[in-house]
Structure 1
């Protein structure tokens, strides 16, 4: 079945043949193979392209807060997680179970409401993106995947990878299109950031098993990506992720610029989102909109900017074959300094996500962002909840301006 993973003592990356036979396969060939295996990808991504380029803009301008059905549904299946990562707010959420119902694992939905959601959304076939917590810890994970693939949805899975080894063959067999694994640097740095010794080896073993299963089945799916979140802890070594990803044999390496905020900016945001103001705008918010501790405070300073600029230059020199390397958000070199050092920098006041993406939490709550509550998928037909009055009113506000809490959101336009 799956071969033993062997580690190189110097670089601690996988040695052996994992992904090496596939290293010469171009991204174009793999995507074509994925389209043959699930032609619905054309429909899903064609609609997503139209919505991002044209449709969302038209809705924001002319439809009084209404939006066409989402092109992407982001489902937090569970808040359960087996890691405690430096840049994650999971600990804060665990401490707020009483106030924020969706943070309590006891409130996570069983499989049936999710299957009902899939049935309701089949007519417009959005991409289904699964995250958490750690989605592989959701007790009905396999049932959800089977239900989604029986209905020919395009599925994306975001995981810390530590439990991936046991699910690798299943994911390939079911035809999941995208698997994204978080690895934040060489072993020592990854384990420190993720808060658990052995996390790196478990994640790498999971990726290796996934690539082996894909090759053994001669399958195009899944496209396998690594996400590397940039932080002060790993900034000096993040460039090592390119050789790690290449030797492992994955298809994509994506560097994530940190999503962060500051106490001062959060306080400024919460002064705007006062209870009186929220009521006057027809919103429903679980207060405070941006709680103390429910955001990451970046430690990157002016002395670190040259390293970030050097990383961007290395990625540009690297090219895109056979390993595709990207950034999210995709900042130009001149935007790196203000992104990290100036929360008040006047970037574009544009966000499309409220018109294109729906975020659903483990208890079924639709909370687009900033603790704005939009109802629950159990409240009625999905499209009615998607365009409920609270969310429509929020869209109308965001169409005019962004808020301090939006400063470093990954969804906005920079």
Structure 2
């Protein structure tokens, strides 16, 4: 994190110490206990610190760099009937009942999660069970939910905005997207004041692309006007044909699985100018902002060009412990080892408890594979390795 933490942010966190506790537990699991489980060698692991619920595949936007619905999005090659499958609320409630006792961090996303019809009852149920709930959204479908999102005690809302109005709408493929998202942000902030609540914390997320690599400062200024609690800026995740084909070869040989998700990350990263990005990052870090910020992955200035031009460079990250600490539940109920690359399915929550699926034979097989390979070819540009 490059910005001194503003005192007003510290005061907000003090008002909600539960987030500090969850954050500390997650960090302990990720940084200490996860590596210990990795070294056990038996493929088993403690229960996941974070459970990601991908509620829907559907999305109303078409962001250029999106692995799902972007220019090379993998959803375009998936069967339409499969994309429409949804887990009913009752099955999610059963899942929550199974895992609530150990208090995992619940991460809700999509597609656009607010297209899931029962998202508000689901949030209410998770908060009744005293789980920490964070939601990633493009903000255009929140509509009338602002009041309940605050009242239910939603912990963190991550809004995706990639630049000032015209830039954002161009990247998102939808004219008017910026206004809808900013309006939702403002309504959430107003509702927090009306209800005298500190939460949800508002986190703005953005991704460097060729369209915004030189004007990200304008977005940070907009974020200050809105009064966000934190900014997270990503250098972008991507793959190459070579990394994807090598990954395919390994999974086919070792697990008899033909992966498909990597094709969604084949967008043209060569359009990004590493020097322009480096200059923008330098300018951003030279200014004081009224919110803390972070770049993912954390790179030194001289590492930015290799990040975009040398796909195999892992910048010191030698092993991935995400399959030992995190799991993802797909819209059809499939439990996967990596939510961004959901090729390896461990089971389905509509057929079996997550508590049994987590250390299933399939889970152990994949963990053994990852230990044997060190890293898979796609891992070098995945947030499971460098971010979460």
When normalised by structure 2's length, the TM-score is: 0.91
Change (3 A) 1:42 1:255: closer
Q: Which of the two has greater helix per residue?
A: 2
Q: How does 1:372-411 map to 2 (within 5 A)?
A: 372-400=344-372, 401-411=374-384
Give distance in 2, aligned partners of 1:323 and 1:46. Answer: 20
Give distance in 1, aligned partners of 2:86 and 2:74. Answer: 14
Partner residue of 2:76?
95
Larger radius of gyration: 1
Does structure 1 retain, via aligned residues, the 8 Å contact 2:13–2:20? no
1:94 offset after TM fit, Å? 3.9
The RMSD of aligned alpha carbons is 2.1
SS of the equivalent of 1:163 reads coil
Does structure 1 retain, via aligned residues, the 8 Å contact 2:50–2:106? yes
Give distance in 2, aligned partners of 1:70 and 1:113. Answer: 19
- Give unmatched runs, 5+ long, in structure 1: 1-23, 280-284
Q: How does 1:241-390 map to 2 (within 5 A)?
A: 241-274=219-252, 276-279=253-256, 285=257, 287-290=258-261, 293-300=263-270, 304-319=273-288, 322-347=290-315, 348-369=317-338, 370=341, 371-390=343-362
Give distance in 1, aligned partners of 2:176 and 2:260. Answer: 36
SS of the equivalent of 1:233 reads coil
Partner residue of 1:128?
106
1:154 offset after TM fit, Å? 0.6
Partner residue of 1:104?
83
Partner residue of 2:140?
162
When normalised by structure 1's length, the TM-score is: 0.85
- Give unmatched runs, 5+ long, in structure 2: 1-5
1:295 offset after TM fit, Å? 1.7
Give distance in 2, aligned partners of 1:205 and 1:296. Answer: 33
SS of the equivalent of 1:375 reads strand
Change (3 A) 1:346 1:406: closer
Does structure 1 retain, via aligned residues, the 8 Å contact 2:215–2:280? no
Aligned to 2:193, which of 208, 215, 231? 215
1:135 offset after TM fit, Å? 0.5
Give distance in 2, aligned partners of 1:205 and 1:98. Answer: 35
Partner residue of 1:7?
none
Does structure 2 retain, via aligned residues, the 8 Å contact 1:270–1:290? no
Give distance in 2, aligned partners of 1:268 and 1:211. Answer: 47
SS of the equivalent of 1:51 reads helix
2:52 pairs with 1:55: no
C-alpha distance after superposition, 1:35-54 (max 9, x if no partner): 2xxx4x45533321221221
Give distance in 2, aligned partners of 1:182 and 1:145. Answer: 20
C-alpha distance after superposition, 1:174-225 (max 9, x if no partner): 1101001000001111101111100000000000001111112111101101
SS of the equivalent of 2:42 reads coil
